[in-house]
Amino acid sequence: MSGWREAVEAHDAEALASVLSEDAKLRSPITVRIPFEGRQRVVELMTEVFALIESMRVLREVRDGDLQVLEIESRLAGYDMHMVQLVEHGADGLVRQVTLFMRPLPGVANLAAHIGPRLVRRRFGPVVAAFVTVPMRLVSVLARLIDRLSPRFV
């Protein structure tokens, strides 16, 4: 089996690249519209995620054949998050697909508001990133507001 967990815990993009298959895929909890396919794209995304991780603790790891499941508590971009990573390994032991599940919604919106502009800036420059930042931050603020107000409506 690979060292996916060790690379993620160390926030080490080089180590991460070494455990990914060339055609690795990462399925995002934020959108299905932007595929992260191929080692380079997955490493690019995870490098930006690593920059936003303030703390991370693996609560549980379960392995079943080629499947590795990690349950993680983390603080990403100023928000406490709970995450499950489904890591699928190929016959060669390399990671071929990672599917991420995250909660709560305000935390996911906050992560999107931070990571989206970073990825856009990397590919298209700061001007295009500025156009992405405003609507994504608005979604994040609205999700947090709804989260704070929701107990009043139960």
pLDDT at 2: 60
Single-letter amino acid, residue 14: E
The radius of gyration of the chain's CA atoms, rounded to the nearest angstrom, is: 16
Q: What distance in Å separates the CA atoms of residue 127 and residue 21, rounded to the nearest whole number?
A: 33
DSSP strand pairing (79-89 vs 95-103): antiparallel
Closest CA to 77 of 37, 49, 105: 49
Distance CA 124, CA 130 (A): 11
CATH of domain 4-153: 3.10.450.50
pLDDT tens string, the chain, 154 residues long: the values are: 569 999 999 999 999 999 999 999 999 998 888 889 999 999 999 999 999 999 999 999 999 999 999 999 999 888 899 999 999 999 999 999 999 999 999 999 999 999 988 988 988 899 998 898 999 999 999 999 999 998 888 8
* pTM for this prediction: 0.87
